[in-house]
Amino acid sequence: MTDTTTIKTLPFEKALAELEEIVRRLERGDVPLEDSIMIYERGEALKKHCELLLKKAEARIEKITVGADGQASGTTPLDVAE
């Protein structure tokens, strides 16, 4: 059973580190089947949590737009492809 309450409180870096550890354990192949299923489910929850945190961070990043007079006139979403 996945403890989503504790996952929701993890900062991105800790969630990612735990997810990476889960991947390493599963890739080794020495985890019993039942444990593999449990940690896989936790890994899925961690992945979703990390994706949500990244989307929130991206939404907060904006660039300042400057008007013809050189003054800040607002903000627009930052296009990371620039």
CATH of the domain at 40: 1.10.287
pLDDT at residue 82 tops 50: no
Domain assignment present for 76: no
The gap from C-alpha 76 to its chain's centroid, in whole angstroms, comes to 23
pLDDT in tens, 41-73: 999 999 999 999 998 887 777 676 777 787 777
Domain assignment present for 40: yes
Domain assignment present for 77: no
**Tally of domains in the chain:** 1
Domain that holds residue 20: 2-67
pLDDT in tens, 23-43: 999 999 999 999 999 999 999
Domain assignment present for 74: no
Distance CA 53, CA 11 (A): 8
Domain assignment present for 9: yes
